Structure 1
Amino acid sequence: MSEKSPEGIQVRLLGWFACTIGRGEVPIAPKAQRLIACLALRGPTPRTVVETLLWPQAGQTQAAKGLRQSLWKIRKATGDALLGAYGDQLELLASVTLDFTPASRLAERLARSTAPLEESMGPTAAGLAGPAEQGVTEQGRWPCLDLELLPSWDGEEIERARERWDTMRLAALQQLGESTLAQQDLLSSLDYGRRAAAVDPFNERSQMIMASALVGLGDMRSAWRLYTTYSDLVGAELGVDPSPRFLRIVTGVAQEDVPLRR
């Protein structure tokens, strides 16, 4: 986690919503949580836009009333240390720390990086590394990449942000898996592949990372089981076969030499 703000105000969007002051979690009403999350994801936003997003079925008067009530509840719980209002604009204060902001930057940096993992770590990323930062093991590193953005929350705004986050964390985990595979750290590569597959079980790149690590470990039975399970999944759900490259990883045989699913 990034360094605390002077007031100690932190907002967590990954895993589940929480607002903390110092070490204590502040109870926030559900609609007020939505308001905080909206500003955390969008940045400064006009009041009228917030009203439309959070009270889409209400009339203008009722939406404005709902916004005023939520603002009052937030200020009652956190004082003036969380929200700022400048004219028609609402925003979180710059002193508020968000888990999502450094995690997003980390995921993008890792997804794009071809350098050794240590070179990918900046001051912010170091706090998100997890136990392996102390050199214990590569497995279980970057735990923020395993967390869903506001799970169970609905709404187009949240779903779009969640989709972007999932795309970036998936790419980061896959890049880590391929990087450790190239370094012959097979157990770590297998772990990253599994974590990537948990984000999107249909993505073949994650499955091939796991299969390559299993083959490297000499576990051909598990590699083949992985292939057939994935083949059944995409066959049933998408009506397609795994790629020839995936088949060659687990058997060394080209796909044109084996019967295809029809």
Structure 2
Amino acid sequence: MALRTGMPTMRLALLRGFALSEGDRTLDLPQNAERLVTFLALNGGAPRRDYVAGSLWPESAELNAAANLRTAVWRIQQAGDRVLEATRSRVQLAADVRVDLREATAVALGVDSRAEQETGAELLDLLDSELLPDWYDDWLPPHRERWRQTRLHSLESLALRMARAGRFAVAVDAALAAVRAEPLRESANRCLIEVHLAEGNVYEARRVLELHRQAIRADLGIDPSPQLVALVNGSRHNGALTMR
């Protein structure tokens, strides 16, 4: 379907929290309507109404779930007629609604030309965001985990790229964001160590290793890999950073 032009941009924010806007106007939706918009944005396509109703209201009888869906669709259409495209059998998010998660994922995966135009700090702000952190719907965790893995890999890559460019402040922030998102992840800690070593901060690198050692011993009962220990001890560090 062709995108509509000459109209205010429809934006859906899912990172850090839900927000739906049309130009400068925020669309206020009840909770069930927010859940429907989010479900359609995350799953894409034009799913059948019965599938959507069953997914969003699994504990309700089929007729009640269908009624809940009709009410949610009506509420959304009352708030803004450009949000959904609905037929008697299917419902989907309108094609010209811009979703921040989709754009962030495209940047993170390096398939968006904006990735080369953004500054490191702007990319860091984009990647250091969780998907609807205060939502607890049963269908949300797989989407949240997919975004978590995408942004962790991208934060590590950004940190190393910024370090190679000599932009160590942004590099450290990106690596710290990766460690903060998953403290037990060795590749995130290794990334932070590599940034410190590239800047010549051996003490900081050893400190990160020791904190990582304490954390994984307490939680997992294991030690850092020999490769990570060797990196800090200097036997494997050659002064060059390798992009992942």
For the criterion TM > 0.5, the same-fold answer is yes
Partner residue, 1:239: 221
Contact 2:124-2:155 within 8 A present in 1 as well = no
Q: Secondary structure in 2 aligned to 1:245?
A: helix
1:144 aligns with 2:130: no
Work out which of the residue numbers 137, 161, 170 in structure 2 matches 1:188: 170
Q: What stretches of structure 2 of length at least 5 have no aligned partner?
A: 237-244
1:84 aligns with 2:85: yes
Contact 1:5-1:96 within 8 A present in 2 as well = no
Q: Within 2, Cα distance between the matches of 1:161 and 1:198? A: 20
Partner residue, 2:63: 61
Partner residue, 1:203: 185
Q: Within 2, Cα distance between the matches of 1:181 and 1:142? A: 14
Residue type of the alignment partner of 1:40: A
Q: Secondary structure in 2 aligned to 1:19?
A: strand
1:50 aligns with 2:48: no
Deviation at 1:5, TM superposition (A): 7.8
Work out which of the residue numbers 91, 112, 122 in structure 1 matches 2:113: 122
Q: Secondary structure in 1 aligned to 2:210?
A: helix
Partner residue, 1:101: 102
Considering only aligned residues, what root-mean-square deviation do their CA atoms show, in Å?
2.2
Residue type of the alignment partner of 2:150: M
Percent identity of equivalent pairs: 28
Contact 1:83-1:90 within 8 A present in 2 as well = yes
Change (3 A) 1:23 1:101: same
Partner residue, 1:161: 143
Q: Within 1, Cα distance between the matches of 2:17 and 2:116? A: 22
Aligned residues: 231
Contact 1:139-1:187 within 8 A present in 2 as well = no
Contact 1:139-1:188 within 8 A present in 2 as well = yes
Contact 1:51-1:63 within 8 A present in 2 as well = yes
1:211-245 Cα deviation digits (max 9, x unpaired): 12223333332222211111111111111111112
Partner residue, 2:12: 11
Residue type of the alignment partner of 2:225: S
Q: What stretches of structure 1 of length at least 5 have no aligned partner?
A: 111-120, 133-137, 255-262
Partner residue, 1:22: 23
Contact 1:7-1:95 within 8 A present in 2 as well = no
Deviation at 1:140, TM superposition (A): 5.1
Q: Within 2, Cα distance between the matches of 1:126 and 1:252? A: 33
Deviation at 1:11, TM superposition (A): 0.9
Contact 1:15-1:151 within 8 A present in 2 as well = yes
Deviation at 1:253, TM superposition (A): 6.1
1:121-155 Cα deviation digits (max 9, x unpaired): 615x478x3xx3xxxxx345342111111112123
Deviation at 1:179, TM superposition (A): 2.5
Return the TM-score normalized by structure 2.
0.86
Change (3 A) 1:94 1:139: closer
Partner residue, 1:172: 154
Q: Within 1, Cα distance between the matches of 2:116 and 2:52? A: 34
Deviation at 1:36, TM superposition (A): 0.2
Change (3 A) 1:180 1:234: same
Q: Within 1, Cα distance between the matches of 2:64 and 2:180? A: 41
Change (3 A) 1:140 1:7: closer
Return the TM-score normalized by structure 1.
0.81
Q: Within 2, Cα distance between the matches of 1:93 and 1:27? A: 17
